[in-house]
Amino acid sequence: MLARVDSEIEGLIMRELHRQQNTLMLIPSENYASPAVLEAQSCVFNNKYAEGYIANRYYQGCRWVDEVEKICIERAKKLFGAEHINVQTHSGTGANIACYQALLQPKDKILSLDLRQGGHLSHGKEGSLPFNFYTIVNYGLSRKTELFDLEEVRRVAKKENPRLIIVGTSSYPRKIEFGPWREIADEVGAYLMADMAHTIGLIAGKVYPDPVPYADVVTATTQKTLRGPRGAFIMCRKEIADRIDRAVFPGTQGGPFIHIIAAKAVCFKEAMDSSFKNYAHQIITNSRFLADGLMEEGFKLVTGGTDTHLILVDLSSKKITGRQAALLLEEAGIVVNKNCIPFDPLPPSITSGIRLGTPALTTRGMRESEMKLIAHWIGQILNNPQKGRIRSKIKLQVEDLCHSFPIYETYPAGYCYNS
């Protein structure tokens, strides 16, 4: 149908499918949603307005909408054990802003990780809505270990007396234990928000510490390690449930995307299957193998390795920037992103690092031996930046490998998902 109505857009979708099929997706926030998820999110619920919440809508005709949202919430509760869950938020950034709206007054103080060290834009970057509405103060990582320095967090918290402390980042390769963060928040009377945008799939797969018992609010995306539709959800204790719901609608959003909520429900169902635990476990095994392989190729890794889905490579000792490295790798079909390392002297548009992650390759079915091979290719390319021939040769090898691990075999009709 699309091909007949709009061949231009249909053609671009097919090209993007080809790109995804024939390159190695190593961006840690990306993944392949299942055909079931894709099907649910392109359904007729797109056509429905449903402002409000279950059994309390501003529109008629919400019988099936209510069923979908109810099932979605029930599944999420079963998966994560939270007292209350709001599944209407459109994005991770929106979920974070809704939490600020629920818990803070304008000008209240938020304590978050310095953006340059892995904090997210929505934690208060200059020019953003949170930056303009609230008072942002930062803690940093330890220069020596590149890990969270809890004494530093406590010191800044006591000095600044924030109303809200945020834990959770976009580029931290190690597990976070949430107990000590709860203690610090209690010592200064602050709310604790865990931003689990990146790691929520690992939490669902029980290979990462659980923030739900410790944080007042947990925000999460559904498109990253959970490999669902693009979207988010918020988990909280029941005492603040009403404030969170009101902050989402009508506080910061209008009508919910019911087709996306349907797809989130599918994604939660998939995450409850035992195969999801294997996937989560394999993400970390793959990440460790990729990290070891990169170290054998002579790369320095931030914190010396990983115990999550992501790896931050410190290129400062190589004669190459993060930006150059990402461009060279893309020539060979290896897709990564440049990323600041802790205390990076270079700006975010250049950087001294690249960030790699294994969720998407793991969804494709790749395992330890493929990780070894990819680490070797990355070494070959970045240790010989002047040799275009190496990149051309590896590009063909990458395509061969990709052919052995198809993503959607006969997309868009008759889906086959390789997980």
Ligand X SMILES: *Cc1c(COP(=O)(O)O)cnc(C)c1O
| Residue with Cβ nearer ligand X (21 or 221) | 221
Q: Does the annotation mark 210 as catalytic? A: no
Q: Are 214 and 259 in contact, with CB atoms under 8 Å apart?
A: no
Please pick, from the candidates 35, 92, 256, 359, the single residue that binds ligand X as defined by CB under 6 A. Answer: 92
CA 28 to chain centre: 7
Nearer to ligand X, 29 or 321 (CB): 29
**29 binds ligand X per the rule CB under 6 A:** yes
- Write out 10-61 in H/E/C secondary structure: HHHHHHHHHHHHHCEECCCCCCCCCHHHHHHHCCHHHHCCCCEECCEECCCC
User: Among residues 20 and 171, whose Cβ is nearest to ligand X?
Assistant: 171
Which one is catalytic: 48, 49, 160, 393?
49
Place of tokens 């001294």: 352
C-alpha to C-alpha distance for 357 and 336, rounded to whole angstroms: 8
168 near ligand X, judged by CB under 6 A: yes
Confirm or reject binding of residue 130 to ligand X (CB under 6 A): no
Nearer to ligand X, 96 or 282 (CB): 96
Catalytic residue, candidates 195, 216, 245, 270: 195
Q: Which range, of 128-136, 163-171, 259-267, 333-341, touches ligand X by CB under 6 A?
A: 163-171
195 or 245: whose CB is closer to ligand X? 195
Which of 33, 136, 197, 202 contacts ligand X by CB under 6 A?
197
* Closest CA relative to residue 80, chosen from 204, 205, 255, 214: 204
Tokens of 212: 């739900």
Task: For residue 253, give the nearest of 126, 99, 40 by alpha carbon.
Answer: 99
For residue 341, what is the DSSP state? Answer: P
Compare residues 52 and 168 and give the one whose CB is closer to ligand X.
168
405 burial via Cβ count (<10 Å: 0-12, 13-18, 19+): middle
Give the orientation angle of helix 368-383 with respect to helix 322-331, to 10 degrees.
120
Say which residues have a Cβ less than 8 Å from residue 220's Cβ, sequence separation at least 6. Answer: 92, 95, 196, 197, 200, 226, 232, 233, 234, 235
Closest to ligand X by CB, 45 vs 233, is 233
Catalytic site residue from 57, 75, 224, 395: 224
Q: Is 88 in the site for ligand X (CB under 6 A)?
A: no
Contacts of 59 by beta carbon, 8 Å cutoff, 6+ apart? 48, 49, 50, 51, 52
Q: Is 49 a catalytic residue?
A: yes
Catalytic-residue membership of 66:
no
Is residue 143 part of the annotated active site? The answer reads no
- Asked whether position 114 contacts ligand X by CB under 6 A, the answer is no
Which of 120, 259, 264, 355 forms a contact with ligand X (CB under 6 A)?
120
Active-site annotation holds for 273: no
Residue number with the shortest CB distance to ligand X? 92
Asked if 35 contacts 415 with a C-beta cutoff of 8 angstroms, the reply is: yes
Selected range binding ligand X among 80-88, 132-140, 149-157, 168-176, rule: CB under 6 A? 168-176
Among 21, 34, 170, 363, binds ligand X (CB under 6 A): 170
Q: Is 198 in the site for ligand X (CB under 6 A)?
A: yes
Give, in degrees to the nearest 5, the angle at Cα 321 between 335 and 401: 25
Helix locations, 163-257, DSSP H: 179-188, 200-204, 241-246
Of the candidates 21, 93, 101, 337, which one interacts with ligand X according to CB under 6 A? 93
143 in helix, strand or coil?
coil
Select the residue interacting with ligand X from 21, 101, 112, 122 (CB under 6 A). Answer: 122
Using CB under 6 A, pick the residue from 69, 195, 270, 314 that binds ligand X. 195
Q: Please give the size of the binding site for ligand X, defined by CB under 6 A.
A: 14
Our answer to whether residue 69 is catalytic in this structure is no
Site for ligand X in 207-246 (CB under 6 A): 221, 232
- Per DSSP, the three-state class of 114 is coil
In 3D space, the residue among 152, 253, 167 whose CA is nearest the CA of residue 211 turns out to be 167
Query: Which parts of this chain interact with ligand X (CB under 6 A)?
Result: 29, 91-93, 120, 122, 168-170, 195, 197-198, 221, 232
Active site residues: 49, 51, 195, 221, 224, 230
